[in-house]
Amino acid sequence: MNPISNSDCVSMRSAIRGLVIVLGPVATATVAADYLLWGGHVGVSLGLFLAFIGTMLLLIRRGRMRTRLLMVVAALAATCVQAGIEISLSNFLVGATLVLVLGGEAFQSHLVGLWGRFSEAIFGLLAAPFRWFGFTGTVTRHLAELSAPNLGLVGSMARGAWVLAPAVILLIIFASIFSAGNAIFAEFTARLWTLWLDRIASLDLSVGRFVFWAFAATAALGIFHGAPAPDSPRWWTRTLPRIPRPDYRLASWQTGAVFIALNGLFFAVNTIDAAYLWRSGRLPGGVNHTQFVHDGVWSLIGAVVFSAVIIAGMFQQQDRVLSGRWLKNLAHLWVAQNAVLIAGVFLRLKLYVEEYQLTEKRIYVGAFLLLVAFGFLFLGWFVEKRRTFNWLLGRSMVATFVLFFVLQFLDVAGFVARHNVARWLSSSQRINEAVLDVEYLVTLGSSAWPQLALVASSKHGKDIRALAAEKLAGIVHAETAAATTENWREWQWRRAKAREALNRVR
């Protein structure tokens, strides 16, 4: 037998190593996604999957971990834990964002700036379907390299099979002997064989599962084999240039006129709010309370956001246009007036909740207004220090991420349920009884079940109490049936605690 040359062995090992590097992360991530996410509802399995992908990225990454990366890892760990407590849209979005940040740090570390690395990771994920063409070519090339002279790989596999053959044959013979002489062992092997056959027979090879595999493999390809970053910055990472204005004096006066006119308009609107909203003055004829307090909230929010866009656009002009201090002062005045307008929208939301009830949507609107308020703080600094638009956009994106990161840990549905039920119970003795929408309470999910049980066991509001008891009975029945089919992957801490509360009221 002609031995394999050293060069052939080196070439074969290089080809195998190349295949592992190329196929390994994609195949491993796809298997993990299938095991943790396919079939049924996700729960703690989502956190385990995010942690698994994050760990793979950290193992692939080279170099020591800096403070910023440690913060990202800590944030991802907290997000994975929260996925086991309760999954929400913000939890999923934050987890996906942090995984992409790690992907940028692992494969695009040569790029300068967090935004450059993160955006390149997003681009690699979006371009993943088109990466399959180059990916298959790379795999084919490595497979061709495995066809070494003298069939080295085939020979090695045959030799391994020949080594194991005696052990396998003797294992089968002695297992048969022990099955005939030991009833317990025979039952154990029969059960093991039956379980294996059932497993094969029940294997889900549906079209949906193949589509899921394709989706998971494509996402893994985008994360672990994203498109290489070009030498020159992409258009979205370049610093946005100042807007040229040939006649800078005309541009200055135009900017000043815009600021003066809109400051006057906002002053008039804020003065009306001060007289009729903050002081609760009597409304003029032809305007009712619902029109003034409840209607038009989204229009006011739109005006605030549009104002921020105008200020940012105006101060993106050339420095010569905005050299006068008076323009900055007018811009700061408009920022302050927007802050007053935001406070007025907050008060409108408060009055709306007092008259009707609290909802998740109203809390999220309040959170959005808080984000806009922080955006105006950044905008004031942008105006005063003449920062670039990229600086303003970057701070706004970080603030948005922080908002979503915090929201994922808050039990908003539980807070809404407790607030509405407590308000209803406290007003049960009054003539004008508070509103309690039991149907909406049910839509809040497991966080509202303890409060629904509280309403059903109360001594107030006969019709509401009866409706709550009916809804609660339906939930108990549904959850009892669901508990028999759920597996460990679907476990959620808040749902488990809520089920315990349901068991106490049955």
Alpha carbons 357 and 424: distance in angstroms, whole number? 9
State how far the alpha carbon of 17 is from the alpha carbons of 226, 444, 450, in Å: 19, 51, 56
Question: What pLDDT, in 10s, does the model give residues 11-43?
Answer: 555 555 655 667 788 899 999 999 999 877 889
Question: What's the token pair of residue 360?
Answer: 């998740």
Highest mean pLDDT among 4-8, 145-149, 175-179, 379-383: 379-383
CA 229, 235, 237: angle at the middle one, nearest 5?
Answer: 70
Which 3 state secondary structure label does DSSP give 243? strand
Alpha carbons 37 and 252: distance in angstroms, whole number? 58
Indicate whether 492 pLDDT > 80.
yes
Instruction: Tell me which residue of 417, 402, 480, 420 sits closest to 447, measured CA to CA.
Output: 417
> Where along the chain do its domains lie?
6-143, 248-400, 412-505
- 287, 290, 291, 296: CA torsion to nearest 10: 160
CB distance 255 to 327 below 8 Å: yes
Question: What pLDDT, in 10s, does the model give residues 69-89?
Answer: 899 999 999 999 999 999 999
Give the CB-side neighbour count of residue 177, counting CA atoms within 13 A: 6
Which 3 state secondary structure label does DSSP give 317? strand
Question: What's the token pair of residue 281?
Answer: 């003055």
Indicate whether 4 pLDDT > 50.
no
CA 157, 162, 166: angle at the middle one, nearest 5?
Answer: 145
Which 3 state secondary structure label does DSSP give 10? helix
Question: What pLDDT, in 10s, does the model give residues 191-220?
Answer: 887 877 776 766 677 888 889 999 999 999
- 446, 37, 225, 120: CA torsion to nearest 10: -10
- In which region does residue 4 sit, left (phi positive, over 0), alpha (psi from -120 to 50) or beta (all else)? beta
Alpha carbons 175 and 214: distance in angstroms, whole number? 40
Question: What pLDDT, in 10s, does the model give residues 217-227?
Answer: 999 988 988 76
Question: What's the token pair of residue 36?
Answer: 């943790």
pTM of the model: 0.82
